[in-house]
A and B are shown apart, each in its own frame.
Chain A
Amino acid sequence: MTIDCDVHGRVPTMEELVPHLDSYWAAYVEEAGPGVPAGIAAVYPPGAPATGSPLGGATLEELGAHLDRLGASAAILNCVFGLEGLRNLDYASALAGAVNDWLAAEWLDRDPRLRASLLVKAEDPAGAAREIERRAGDPRFVQVLLPARSERPYGDPSYLPVLQAASAAGLPVAIHFGGFTGNPPTPVGWPTYYVEEYVGMAHAFEAQLTSLVAGGALERLPDLRIVFAESGFAWLPSAMWRLDKEWRGLWREIPWVKTLPSETIRERVSVTVQPIDPPPEREQLAHVIEQIDCERMLLFSSDFPHVHAADFGEAFAGIVDADFQRAVVAENARALYGL
């Protein structure tokens, strides 16, 4: 039975969140009337071809039908909610809790196949740790969700309490396509077109991988597991080669990194297969798989309802054997998430 490690339900409205806010924030929201964070539409414009739904995600019914078609035993809801762009930490953390409660009530309680990533405001380490601890006992929350484009990369010491809380709760940290902080989305400023940001999200993932390798979190938290969600995977070999080569000459600056980065990455990092960007020749994808050299790393995802160029089955047909397929389609997720 398939486990789908990245699906998207529609985003809640503020009205739907009010019942899940405390009395101060409920009153504040009703009076001030803020909309949902702007980062949601910036990352998934409702009319963009890849978004797949004007609601930004599927309804419960549509998701249920998708899981029926897939024969999925479980699917992980990633609710991208733009909290990284909110500067009032209390507000953002309050929203995180409200969204998590809404996810539980409107999704997890209604379809037993559904699991969810836990939203937190990572720039509020104490608030984020509290939220993780609050929900740690609910096994339907299987990981902590962070956006790929953040204020600082996640190896930065300011994020350690969040990673620590996740690790202590036995939860992987999923770093997901998106992030709208108000800082330029690229190292070279603001691109003109959405397609540039869409394609360029890969470099944000590279920055996060580099930072997690360099910053010491993986050494301090030996049980911490990282998931890159909606990142694709073809970028991994070139990144691993580069990090390994750099480490050989520069390790003295980061002496807690005691071994080749690629070894650590193969032990601690997983990645969802979508988006698959099919190469012109099937053999080229086989090369990438060989270069990644880690069957355990890949997690099946549909990214439903987002639209992609190819699905896993057709892209990987003939280039991986049945054992590999089984690992990707279910076993890796089962082992990682305890499903």
Chain B
Amino acid sequence: MSASTARRYVVARIHEIPPGARKIVTVERRQIGVFNLDGEFFALRNRCPHQGAALCDGRLVPTVSASAPGDYELGGRTLLQCPWHGWEFDVRDGQSWSDPGRLRVASYKVSVERDDDGRVKGPYKAESYPVSVEDGDVVVEMG
């Protein structure tokens, strides 16, 4: 999308959203959750693509992995857990993620995208928006 068509909104001052915190704002009649993850800002539509829950009210949770029962490891990524059914979305881009490890995907799947860690993208994606910081303002870009 070109910069000339993007509409940019100051949604907060940096100090309002410290690391680990969030702010829900309304922009162009949409509710958007703005998150600070370790100093980086991300914005997601406050609506779960599954059944429309207020996604950005959900808990931020770490990824978890295990090779077998009893062997639990918390991981580095942060996921947003929907308040209703608990489905989880990557805060960075709204993608719902499954984590298949090394199992090969059954051949009936028509198209599957994997990232470098071998994870498979789930079918749902929450709307996300580019966020930047300028002179102490947190700016969300729409359009």
Q: Give me the interface of A with B, judged by CB distance under 8 Å.
A: 157, 215-216, 219-220, 248-250, 252, 254-256, 258-260, 263-264, 266-267, 293-294
User: In the bound complex, what is the Cα–Cα distance between A220 and B64 (angstroms)?
Assistant: 17
Contact of A266 among B67, B69, B106, B120 (CB under 8 A): B106
Additional A-B contact list (8), CB under 8 Å, known A216-B69, A249-B85, A249-B86? A219-B68, A248-B87, A252-B61, A254-B69, A258-B65, A259-B98, A263-B105, A293-B108
Interface residue B3 (Cβ < 8 Å from any Cβ of A): no
Contact check, B103 vs A264: say whether CB atoms are below 8 A apart: yes
Interface residue B20 (Cβ < 8 Å from any Cβ of A): no
Q: Using Cβ atoms and an 8 Å threshold, which residues of chain A touch B64?
A: 252, 255
Interface set, chain B 66-92, CB cutoff 8 A to A: 66-69, 71-72, 85-87
28 contacting pairs across A/B (C-beta < 8 A): A216-B68, A220-B67, A248-B85, A248-B86, A249-B85, A250-B86, A252-B61, A252-B64, A254-B69, A255-B66, A255-B72, A256-B67, A256-B68, A256-B71, A258-B98, A258-B99, A258-B100, A259-B100, A259-B101, A259-B103, A260-B98, A263-B100, A263-B105, A266-B106, A267-B104, A293-B108, A294-B106, A294-B108
Total of A-B residue pairs, C-beta within 8 Å:
56
User: In the bound complex, what is the Cα–Cα distance between A139 and B85 (angstroms)?
Assistant: 48
Contact of A219 among B67, B108, B120 (CB under 8 A): B67
User: In the bound complex, what is the Cα–Cα distance between A293 and B105 (angstroms)?
Assistant: 14
Q: Using Cβ atoms and an 8 Å threshold, which residues of chain B touch A293?
A: 108
CB distance from A225 to the nearest CB of B (A): 14
Q: Using Cβ atoms and an 8 Å threshold, which residues of chain A touch B86?
A: 248-250
Interface size of B by CB at 8 A reads: 23
Q: Using Cβ atoms and an 8 Å threshold, which residues of chain A touch B99?
A: 258-259
Q: Using Cβ atoms and an 8 Å threshold, which residues of chain A touch B122?
A: 248
Contact check, A255 vs B68: say whether CB atoms are below 8 A apart: no
Q: Using Cβ atoms and an 8 Å threshold, which residues of chain B touch A216?
A: 68-69
Known contacts A249-B86, A250-B86, A259-B120; A215 and B103 CB within 8 A of each other? no
Q: Give me the interface of B with A, judged by CB distance under 8 Å.
A: 61, 64-69, 71-72, 85-87, 98-101, 103-106, 108, 120, 122
Contact of A263 among B66, B71, B87, B103 (CB under 8 A): B103
User: In the bound complex, what is the Cα–Cα distance between A266 and B66 (angstroms)?
Assistant: 22
Chain A binding surface SS class: helix
The 4 A-B residue pairs with the shortest CB-CB distance, nearest first, are A249-B86, A259-B100, A258-B101, A255-B66
Q: Using Cβ atoms and an 8 Å threshold, which residues of chain A touch B101?
A: 219, 258-259
Q: Using Cβ atoms and an 8 Å threshold, which residues of chain B touch A264?
A: 103
Interface centre among A216, A220, A256, A294 (most CB of B within 10 A): A256
User: In the bound complex, what is the Cα–Cα distance between A220 and B70 (angstroms)?
Assistant: 12
Q: Using Cβ atoms and an 8 Å threshold, which residues of chain A touch B104?
A: 267
Q: Using Cβ atoms and an 8 Å threshold, which residues of chain B touch A258?
A: 65, 98-101, 103
User: In the bound complex, what is the Cα–Cα distance between A46 and B97 (angstroms)?
Assistant: 53
Contact check, B68 vs A263: say whether CB atoms are below 8 A apart: no
User: In the bound complex, what is the Cα–Cα distance between A258 and B105 (angstroms)?
Assistant: 12
Contact check, A220 vs B68: say whether CB atoms are below 8 A apart: yes
